[in-house]
Amino acid sequence: MFSYENIVDQLRSNVLQVTFSKVNGEERIMPCTLQTDYMPELSESKVSQVDDFSVNKSVIRAFAIDKQSWRSFRVDNVRAIEVING
């Protein structure tokens, strides 16, 4: 079982390949990160929102490298995590 805190900590220092079940039941393998080096400008505010006390800790927002866009996934639906680079 994965925890919100553990996944977010890893996303801040690595690019991860996260495998999870989407809400519709499909499996998605998503390369993603919270490292600002991989994001377009003005994304730092979104990264800092991860620390906001009002964040729903059952869902993680991360920057999807393949889509070049912000995506979210449910912590409970994560099947596997692999570090792509760190």
CATH number of 4-85: 2.30.30
Question: For 83, how many CA atoms within 13 A lie in the half-sphere containing its CB?
Answer: 11
Question: In whole numbers, what is the pLDDT of the chain averaged over residues?
Answer: 87
Rounded to whole angstroms, the Cα distance separating 34 from 11 reads 5
Exposed / middle / buried, residue 42 (Cβ in 10 Å: 0-12, 13-18, 19+): exposed
DSSP helix/strand/coil, 57: coil
- Report yes or no: 73 and 59 within 8 Å, Cβ to Cβ: yes
- Tell me, what's the pLDDT at 53? 54
Lowest mean pLDDT among 9-13, 50-54, 80-84: 50-54
| Residue 21, CA atoms < 13 Å, CB-side half-sphere | 6
Decide: 7 and 77 in contact? Cβ < 8 Å: no
pLDDT of residue 50 exceeding 70, the answer is no
Give the pLDDT mean for 45-56.
59
pLDDT tens digits, 25-47: 999 999 999 998 988 775 455 55
